[in-house]
Structure 1
Amino acid sequence: MGISRTTRSGAGGARPSALLRAVHELFVAGEVDASYLESSSLRPIVAKSWQRSLAKGVDPDGAAQPSPVGEKLARLREAHPLAPALPVIRRLLVDDAAGSGVVVAVSGADGTLLWVEGDPNACRRAEAMNFVPGADWSERGAGTNAPGTALAVDAELQIHGSEHFSRVVQPWSCTAVPVHDPATGALLGALDLTGGSRVATPQALALVRATVVAVETHLALLRLTGGPVEAAQPRPRLAVLGSERPRWLVTDEFGHLRATTLTGRHADILVLLSRHPEGLSADHLAMLLDDKDLDVVTVRAEMSRLRKVVGADAIESRPYRLMVPITTDIGEVYEALDAGDVAGALDRYPGPLLPQSISPAVGRLRTELAMTLRGAVLSTGDPAVLRRWLDSPDGRDDRDGWRALHDGTLPGSVQQAQARGKLAGLDFDLA
């Protein structure tokens, strides 16, 4: 039997609300685990989103948090690539929303709501859950919801009532479809309809999908005619954190993401070049990779092979340096820390930098990143952030962290008891 596009994308018929609410209550209370969700009637795409929401520390009783406002929001709107397509969105979605109980939202790729328009009464009611311009409706910020989860999985999505992770959002249903740059395929944001149950129907999905097609076509025509559209140029991305094999990710001319698994040596080289934009000589690179047994001839051979993977124009010689701007998961962690977003830094840190690497320079960077993140976590004094660190491989045996959790939680609480037990175990190991 074939699988319809609706099923693949996460759209589909609503589940009985009472059953969903019961499953949700059990899950957020910690009385059932992920395997129970997978065996329940919950849709798999929603089950996985609930798991991500819980793991990221989303409060099921909380609302989305405000983000940029005032002049900062105005600047974001003005510079956003979807701004030139607002007339199309308003003509196809907003103009017919008055009196319909429907809210139309346009979000950026990071989940920030940029424009929220539609039925005035519905917009006022949506303010109660902070569904307003400037609020963070990413999955990390608001849990399972159509625009945030559609962006997280880069697929059209409908969320029905009690499928939302946050209880305050459960009276609503929503449909969202991601919008991509027509030239590069880069994710620009999402269009969303929020309202009653009828906004999560196949007809609503077809309407939003058609509007996205019209928006992407409009952006393409503006570019062809010299219109004021900023092309979103996706940069190559280097992913080197955690237990997965290191990868080099690029978006091709057709908008398709291609991932190439890197050898350990190639990953080491790209990490070092990304951290040394001024460039490295062959001698210096050899020493950073292996301070004993690596010679310049071997380095040059590796660089020749690496150019075949990342492109001949990506790396310059004499000195070796990257000639194209790239993003890295290491840089994303540091950017979040620089912004004071420790929870966001934890989100972007799946594990140590290239844990199998024996390069002394990579080992130093690995320790530097882990210790910087650890220090930021301990400085927050936030039990939820501390617990996420302590549940990670890096933080599992962090005695200072467990002590901070013990001292920062309510006396007699389960968390304090767990911290006390962990501290006893660590002390036993040292005895």
Structure 2
Amino acid sequence: MSDGEATVTRVKRAYEQFLSGITPPEGTVRSLVQESWVRSRSRGVTDAPDVTSDAMSDSDFAEYRAEHRLAQVRPLITSLMLDDIADAGVVVALTDRRGRLLWVDGDRSTRGKAAKINFVEGTLWSEEQVGTNAPGLALNLDRGVQIIGPEHYASPVQKWNCAAAPVHDPTTGEVIGAIDVTGGDAAAAPFALAAVRSVVAAVERELRSLAVDLSPAAVLSGALASRLTVLAGEPVWHAPGRARHVLSPRHAEILLLLHLHPDGLSTDRLADLLSDDDLGAVTVRAEISRLRREVGDVLASRPYRLTGPVTSDVTDVRAAIAAGELRAAVAALGRGGLLADSLAPGISDAFDEIREDLRSAVFASRDVTALQAWAASPHGHDDFQAWTALRRALPSGHPDAAIAAGRVRLLNRRFGV
């Protein structure tokens, strides 16, 4: 019997003991699961939970979910998750903050099987309604949760596995819904919850960039944030209420340096950060003048500084590192975009700092999924220490363990480390 099968058997026995009134021995079931079982029993949840008790009419439901915040980012979720797992025997569900399933996407066969347990659009899968389940528990605890087979409270659901994490409004911090993966073995894999968390981090960043208030009061108060993206594709500046503007590399470098130095930069200091050569004050002033003509009067002088709030994908990566969302940070950094291509000393230094901060955080976290993401990235491709740590962290027999061992041998031969 494998470790996974033994765990399922142990939890199933604990579940049967719990239903018969016997408290399972300590350590046989996770505390968050047992606590949820207790709440489920106290609420009278049965094996046939009524997930349609608060059903909407078809027209009301269609209007409700079309206006939901998650509708704005559903294409992003599809591209990050569904396209890669279309044949993995899982469904991806988006819920509102109460646990109502807004969308359930996946291959037709798996959606058909899910429909047999009423895991369909419009139904309520809160912990209160269904008992222990990943989306309901994630919303209740405000944290990512993975529930395996017999950890579910309602026995008809115990053939399924699920992993879910809540999505927050990036401005208020309020929970607005959850992203869930439900299915067979793929949803029980150790990396399923990490994948969901990574997508949630990307979704919250996208929601932050979309959170533009165009009311007159907001415009007058200067509370609107412009957006600078430099890590993927061409550098873009997007000011509130204006079309996206593709930037030249030099103008993107200037905006990014001023963004990273909010107290401002003198002409000479900006010149030093832009070039190792003697760029000259006249050249810098000419570039600033051209930049103002292109993106508007967003720069103040003496010292040069940005005049309004700005967000960027670079600071998003830093925020993800600080929040411990390391796999999402690796994905967001990607190859490095402008940071990797720029010869400007200030940009190169910022790139080195971000990579080192991310690498250090990955090693300190001891998160195997983050370590795998780092090793698979352009920055960890030849990182001997990362591949060595990954080889040690993966259990023997894991499909990636042999790959890690092979990469360690290759790097040894190539660099003699």
TMscore range, shorter length:
0.5 to 0.7
Q: Deviations over 1:205-263 (max 9, x none)?
A: xxxxxxxxxxxxxx99xx89x9xxxx995511111224x2211123317xxxx322111
The equivalent residue for 1:251 is 240
Compared CA separation, residues 61 and 351, structure 1 to 2 (3 A)? same
**Cα 1:299–1:47, aligned 2, differ >3 Å: closer, same or farther?**
closer
The answer as to 2:219 corresponding to 1:235 is: no
**Which residue, out of 410, 413, 417, partners 1:428?**
413
Distance in 2 of aligned mates of 1:104 and 1:425: 48
- Partner of 1:330, secondary structure, is helix
Alpha-carbon offset, residue 340 of structure 1: 2.8
Give the percent of matched residue pairs that are identical in Structure 1 and Structure 2. 31
Residues 361 and 417 (structure 1 numbering): CA distance in 2 closer, same or farther, change over 3 Å?
Answer: same
Q: What amino acid does structure 1 have at the position aligned with 2:314? A: I
After TM superposition, list the pairs within 5 Å mapping 1:363-402 onto structure 2.
Answer: 363-402=348-387
In the alignment, what sits opposite 1:275? 260
- Residues in 1 aligned to 2:278 and 2:126: alpha-carbon distance in whole angstroms: 71
What is the deviation of 1:351?
Answer: 2.7
Normalised TM-score (structure 2): 0.54
Give the match for residue 19 of structure 2: none
Structure 1 match to 2:312: 328
Matched, 1:103 2:88: no
Question: Does the 8 Å CA contact 1:53/1:144 hold for their aligned counterparts?
Answer: no
Aligned residue for 2:239, secondary structure, equals strand
> Shift of the alpha carbon at 1:331?
1.0
Q: 1:405 to 1:388 in 2, by over 3 A?
A: same
Instruction: Report the secondary structure of 1:354's partner residue.
Output: helix
Counterparts in 2 of 1:325 and 1:119: CA distance versus 1, 3 Å: closer
Distance 1:46 1:336, change over 3 A: closer
Deviations 1:401-430 (A, max 9, x none): 000000111124322210111111112212
Are 1:50 and 2:81 an aligned pair?
yes
- Alpha-carbon distance in structure 2 between the residues aligned to 1:288 and 1:354: 13
3-state SS of paired residue (2:351): helix
Q: CA RMSD of the aligned region, Å?
A: 4.7
Deviation at 1:187, TM superposition (A): 4.5
Q: Contact 1:50 / 1:143 at 8 angstroms: preserved in 2?
A: no
Deviation at residue 362 of structure 1 after TM alignment = 1.0
Deviation (angstroms), 1:265: 0.8
- Consecutive unaligned residues in structure 2, runs of 5 or more: 1-64, 67-74, 103-121, 146-161, 171-178, 188-207
Rounded to whole Å, the distance in 2 between the matches of 1:47 and 1:118 is: 21
3-state SS of paired residue (2:333): coil
Alignment of 1:312-327 (within 5 A): 312=297, 314-327=298-311
- Where do residues 1-400 of structure 1 align in structure 2 (5 Å cutoff)? 48-50=79-81, 103=100, 123-125=128-130, 127-131=132-136, 132-133=139-140, 135=142, 165-167=181-183, 186-187=210-211, 234-242=224-232, 244-252=233-241, 258-312=243-297, 314-352=298-336, 354-400=339-385
What displacement does 1:371 show? 1.0
Shift of residue 271, structure 1, vs aligned partner: 1.4
Is there any run of 5+ residues in structure 1 with no aligned partner, and where? 1-9, 12-43, 65-88, 95-101, 106-116, 152-162, 171-183, 189-218
Q: Is the 8 A contact 2:127 2:140 kept in 1?
A: no
Q: Is the 8 A contact 1:246 1:261 kept in 2?
A: yes
Query: Number of matched residues?
Result: 269
Distance 1:135 1:127, change over 3 A: farther
User: Residue type matched to 2:182 in 1?
Assistant: S
- 1:301/1:128 Cα in 2 relative to 1: closer, same or farther (>3 Å)? same
CA contact (8 A) 2:327 2:369 kept: no
Q: 1:47: how far off?
A: 6.4
